[in-house]
Amino acid sequence: MTSEVKVEPTARVSANRILAGVGVGVAVFAVVAVPAMLTAYLSLGFFVGGDCERGCKDPWPLGGVVCGGVALILLSVPVIAGLATARVLTGRRWQIAVAAGVMLAGLVMAAI
């Protein structure tokens, strides 16, 4: 007795959609790269505090965490835009998961 298993083809992502997703991701990254860099630099300034040549400032860790979070959110936007354009991951849950993953990876890399 033999049983045949029918395998139906799944919906595949075309190469054009993947290239479009990569293009959109690179374009969005080009737009958000400078603001992300500036907020990351501002975050570092909040954590370290001010120099005493222009007046000493105390470190403000909460401001550093907020600016670091904004920088990580800005860096997750190109990834989400590229995946949404390529239609690889659809739905709001996947976008939130990708954003959380990018932010978690950024926090791990910052801790190292």
> Using one digit for the tens of pLDDT, what is the confidence trace for 70-98?
888 888 888 888 888 887 766 677 777 77
The answer to whether the predicted template modeling score (pTM) of the entire model surpasses 0.75 is no
Domain ranges for the chain: 16-48+59-111
Phi, psi of 2 (to 5 degrees): -115, 140
Contact yes or no for 58/48 (Cβ under 8 A): no
> Which residues lie below 8 Å from residue 29, measured CB to CB, with a gap of 6+?
78
Percent of the chain whose pLDDT exceeds 70: 73
| Both structure tokens of 73 | 């959110």
Contact yes or no for 36/106 (Cβ under 8 A): no
In this structure, the number of other CB atoms found within 10 A of the CB of residue 76 comes to 21
> Using one digit for the tens of pLDDT, what is the confidence trace for 50-70?
666 666 777 777 888 888 888
Q: What is the pLDDT of residue 4?
A: 61
